[in-house]
Structure 1
Amino acid sequence: MTFSVRKYVAADRLQWNTFLSGCKNNHFMFHRDFMEYHADRFEDFSLLIVDDKNKIVSILPGNIEQHIFYSHQGLTFGGFLVDKNIHASEFIEIFELVKVFLKQQNIEKIIYKPIPNIYHQYPAQEDLYALFRSNAQLNRRDISSSILIHNAYKYSRAKRWGINKARREGVLCLEIQKPSEVWGVIREVLSEFHDANPVHNEQEIDYLKEKFPKNIKVYAAQHQGNNIAACVTFETEEVVHTQYLASSKLGRDLHALDLLIDHVILQCSTYAKILDFGISCENNGHYLNNGLINQKESFGARSIVYDLYSVDLTVIE
């Protein structure tokens, strides 16, 4: 079997999304409706790899900037998405073809963020081996914290106390259908503690929730009818990722976020295997925020890594 590489164009949209739904490491973030909500911020340069019958066997979400190919700057991660029938030796060939194709487009470097294996529906780490074969450099490694929901995770004593306190104070947890309703809490916390804004604004997150109602869920902890803590999850069939967690001053006093996280875990335990809290690193992975990771670990979470590699294409003849 022979393969070829070409750049994604708008006419490939249906084919892209159809392939995505059946590949072995699918994630809804790679659906074109999700990728294109911020199309104005990035120069899309996603790739299709097809066989000799013009059937897609792999896709690679990406963008380019200053002669660098990124997989994809607008996404948390985003490596090759691969057909289940592709063997390791064939993938190595595909990876080499992609390098040559990008080199021909005057791309000098690949910045590559593999999809963490907790998001794989079937083993899919051929890309890590191909990176090794290409003398890729590990440029960044972040620690994320995950709970195996059905594997007897344990809360710390302090966390159990916090959950009980929130209940005694009358905090109630519920699912919210319109994300922008909790954006005030999220904006407040990001501004106060990180001098930052949410990655998504109110219009964007409401749009994405409407497009992906089964994949994006929003929960609020309320006290006397007011939102005092919020959780936004990005979900696949088996993994629930807490994209946003925030608690107001009153919420922190009442330990509302402890109760809300417990509520989310219980809600998703009927269908998911893993809850992933996301990374606790700063400074390109070199600084570990111990306070942040301790909070996640007090729910029973333990570490996985999110990696970032670079491949130098200038050495290709």
Structure 2
Amino acid sequence: MQKLTVKKYQSKDCSVWNEFVLKNKVATFLFDRDFMEYHSDRFQDFSLMIYKEDELIAIMPANIKDSVLYSHQGLTYGGLITEMTSDTSVLIAIYEVLIAFLNQHDIKTIKIKSLPEFYDRTVNNSNKLLTDNFNATVYQRHKVLAIDFSLPFTIHKTKLKNYRKNQSAGFMIQDDNRFDVFWNKVLIPRLKLKHNTKPVHTLEEIELLHQRFPNQIKQYNIFLNDEILAGITIFDKGNIVKSQYGATTERGEKTRALEYLFIYLTYKFKDEGKRFFSMGTVSDKSNKLGYNPGLLRQKEELGCQMYAQEFLLLETK
């Protein structure tokens, strides 16, 4: 095998990095530097690029904190992103040079937030390679809910009954990307009231990201008599679409507006030929189970199946 080398990402590598992301079948726009850099003030970037001679064959979006390398904490998922042709021997060689490089920089621990398994059919094999060959351990496993449109899916009969009944209720769905209305009138107040927390993205950040990625970040709001009742923020990743945020007002809750919007978008994305509609994780640290069983049931009743997202810990020495 030709010699592999590792280098730390620098701003001058932006175009090379983004070209790799654009051509890769697994990488999504979240790995584009224009997305990653929006919160560069919060994280000390330590993204890595792996070369075979002069050819870039893998990247790892990452940041460093307290001498621990994280597959980037500002992203929902990450890990090593390779060419689709990479076989087991190549992956082992890549991890060997990565570990050697990190040891040179006195980094002894890597925490990897892998892709949910439906994003990449080989992700489970890659994780097993790490546990079998590098003594990595799976320290956390999230439940991620998604609809696979290539398979038959069933929406609960009660939800379908309410959806059909509400088709004549006067709901108006708008996709004009009015993030401000949703953030200020629905998302921020509801998160404050229910969980005493804030959205991960500020309004200014999500509007900036939409400007950078207008075809990938979209806002759908549902109104009744000009009053917003609910909204869903969509991240469109090609074959996979993900509901990044979904929230409803108190009146929207009573009228099942958010449920209506989810079912509307499910049929829309199916008709558009999408492969998966991800409704995100149901993790809940405050619950002794580690997840929210009520939220799990709701998403399953919307047609979702459960998939795993593994978090791995790897000691470099």
CA contact (8 A) 1:5 1:98 kept: yes
Q: Which amino acid aligns with 1:176?
A: D
Q: Which amino acid aligns with 2:75?
A: L
Matched, 1:28 2:48: no
Secondary structure of 1:40's match? coil
Alignment of 1:225-236 (within 5 A): 225-236=226-237
| Residues 85-126 of structure 1: CA deviation (Å, up to 9, x unaligned) | 322201110011101111111112100011123223x74555
Alignment of 1:36-185 (within 5 A): 36-52=37-53, 54-120=54-120, 123=122, 127-132=126-131, 133-184=133-184, 185=186
Q: Which amino acid aligns with 1:276?
A: S
Structure 1 partner of 2:297: 294
TM-score, structure 2 length as denominator? 0.94
| Structure 2: stretches of 5+ with no match in the other structure | none
Distance 2:179 2:20 in 1: 29
CA 1:254–1:247 in structure 2 vs 1: closer, same or farther (change >3 Å)? same
- How many aligned residue pairs are there? 312
CA contact (8 A) 1:178 1:206 kept: no
Matched, 1:312 2:315: yes
Structure 1 partner of 2:217: 216
Q: Which amino acid aligns with 2:149?
A: I
CA contact (8 A) 1:180 1:205 kept: no
Matched, 1:261 2:252: no
CA contact (8 A) 2:150 2:275 kept: yes
Q: Which amino acid aligns with 1:282?
A: D
Distance 2:235 2:286 in 1: 23
| Residues 162-212 of structure 1: CA deviation (Å, up to 9, x unaligned) | 323433432222213232231121112211111110000111001111111
Distance 1:36 1:178 in 2: 23
Matched, 1:242 2:243: yes
- Structure 1 stretch displaced more, 110-119 or 288-297: 110-119
TM-score, structure 1 length as denominator? 0.94
- Structure 1 stretch displaced more, 16-25 or 155-164: 155-164
CA contact (8 A) 1:58 1:80 kept: yes
CA contact (8 A) 1:80 1:127 kept: no
| Residues 105-149 of structure 1: CA deviation (Å, up to 9, x unaligned) | 1112100011123223x7455531331111111111110111112
| Structure 1: stretches of 5+ with no match in the other structure | none
Q: Percent identity?
A: 29
CA contact (8 A) 1:216 1:233 kept: yes
CA contact (8 A) 1:242 1:277 kept: yes
| Residues 253-296 of structure 1: CA deviation (Å, up to 9, x unaligned) | 11101110111112212131111111111229942211111110
